[in-house]
Chains A and B, each alone.
Chain A
C-alpha cells in the first residue's frame, strides 16, 4: 500500500456543485496533514491545514479521520477557478520527510 493515496480523477463537475476528495495514509504515527492546490505548470500552494477537530475556510472544509486514516476535502459551490490539482501531504511522526499524494485533478465546467 502506498504511504499516501489519492484518486487521480479527474473529477469533472459543473459550477455550483459540491465535490469531495479523500486521501488515505498508511502510517498511523502521522502527525500533520495539509491540502495544497497546484495549478497547471505552477508551484503547489497551501490551501489549508487539517486539524483533528476539522476546519473550514469559506467554501472549503477539511476533516481528519484518524481511526480510518484518511483526510478529506469538501468544496462547496464550485467555481471555474477551483479547477486545479489538489495534493494531500502527510508528515510522519519521527521523520522530517513529508509525503505527498499524487494529486486529484478537479475540472469545474460552466
Chain B
C-alpha cells in the first residue's frame, strides 16, 4: 500500500517549457488536491477534484491545468512555466472533501529558470 505517490521528485525547467506532474493514490479516496508550498506562504490550494469526473479551482489556479484521469490519478500541467512557479508541489487525497483528513504525497521540487 503505497499511499500517495508523485512523479517526478525533482524537476528543472526553462521558462516557457511545459510539464505534467503525476499523482496517484491507492487508498480508494474520492477527493484529490494539488497544493504549492512556498517559503513563508504556507500551503495554497491550486486545484482540487472532489470526486472522479469533477475538478475545480482553488486559491491559486492561474498558469495550471488539471486532469482527473480516473479515481486513482490526478495530474497537474504547467503549459508555459514561469519563474514564479518555482515551488514545492504536493498532491493529497482524502476519502471525502471537507470532512476528512488528507494524505499527502512526498512532493515535487520544481525550479523554473
Q: Which residues of A contact B (CB under 8 A)?
A: 31-32, 34, 42-46, 49, 87, 89, 91-93, 95-98, 100-103
Identify which of B40, B41, B45 contacts A98 (C-beta below 8 A): B45
**Which residues of A have CB within 8 Å of B48?**
96-97
Minimum C-beta distance from B105 to chain A (A): 6
Minimum C-beta distance from B91 to chain A (A): 9
* 7 examples of A-B residue contacts, CB within 8 angstroms: A43-B107, A45-B104, A46-B101, A46-B102, A87-B43, A100-B43, A102-B42
Q: How far is the CA of A34 from the CA of B50 in the complex (A)?
A: 19
| 7 additional contacts (CB under 8 A) given A32-B98, A43-B90, A98-B45 | A43-B104, A43-B107, A87-B43, A96-B31, A96-B50, A96-B97, A98-B33
Minimum C-beta distance from B98 to chain A (A): 5
**Which residues of A have CB within 8 Å of B42?**
87, 100-103
Q: How far is the CA of A46 from the CA of B58 in the complex (A)?
A: 21
Q: Which residues of B contact A (CB under 8 A)?
A: 31, 33, 35, 40-45, 48, 50, 56, 58-59, 90, 97-107
Q: How far is the CA of A91 from the CA of B99 in the complex (A)?
A: 7
In contact, B43 and A44 (Cβ under 8 angstroms): yes
Q: How far is the CA of A96 from the CA of B47 in the complex (A)?
A: 11
In contact, B101 and A96 (Cβ under 8 angstroms): no
Tell me whether A34 and B105 are in contact in the complex, defined as CB-CB below 8 angstroms, given that A87-B43, A100-B42 are known contacts: no
Q: How far is the CA of A1 from the CA of B56 in the complex (A)?
A: 25
Q: How far is the CA of A46 from the CA of B104 in the complex (A)?
A: 9
**Which residues of A have CB within 8 Å of B43?**
44, 87, 100
**Which residues of A have CB within 8 Å of B104?**
43-45
Identify which of A32, A44, A45 contacts B99 (C-beta below 8 A): A32
Q: How far is the CA of A89 from the CA of B45 in the complex (A)?
A: 12
Closest 7 CB pairs of A and B: A102-B42, A43-B104, A96-B97, A100-B43, A46-B101, A91-B98, A96-B50
